[in-house]
Structure 1
């Protein structure tokens, strides 16, 4: 059995370590903007206003938007 996390969530441990906030902090911020902004607009905002790298910001946004889409 392979329990290795794949996809955007595979970035979560490094995101928490690098930025000092739990993933839920970032996902809550994304949820506040997800109804009004597109994926790359949210990524750009996380990068410019919060200092996240592109890969980390993209992983968080992709994860949250997929969760919203799939319910």
Structure 2
């Protein structure tokens, strides 16, 4: 059985290491910025928190998919 994390969640260890905050921190920021469209939420993380596009997109995609595990 392959338990390797796939999809947006696979970015979380790098996001936590790079930006020094747990994923729950980033989820809270996205939650507070809603309602908004996907790319508008990505822009919040990029413009106001210095997150790179791929990492911001992964956080938003994971949140909007309804999985915060």
Q: Please state which band the TM-score falls in when normalised by the shorter chain.
A: over 0.9
Q: Which residue of 1 aligns with 2:16?
A: 16
Distance 2:3 2:24 in 1: 21
Unmatched tracts of structure 1, length 5 or more? none
- Kindly provide the CA deviation profile for residues 10-58 of structure 1, in whole angstroms up to 9, marking residues without a partner as x: 0000000000000000001111122x21110010111010000000000
Correspondence 1:24-35 to 2 at 5 A: 24-34=24-34
In proportion to residue count, which structure has more helix?
Answer: 1
The count of residues paired between Structure 1 and Structure 2 equals: 67
Take 2:63 and 2:54, find their aligned partners in 1: how far apart are those partners? 14
Unaligned runs of 5+ in 2: none
What corresponds to 1:5 in structure 2? 5
4+ long deviations beyond 2 Å? none
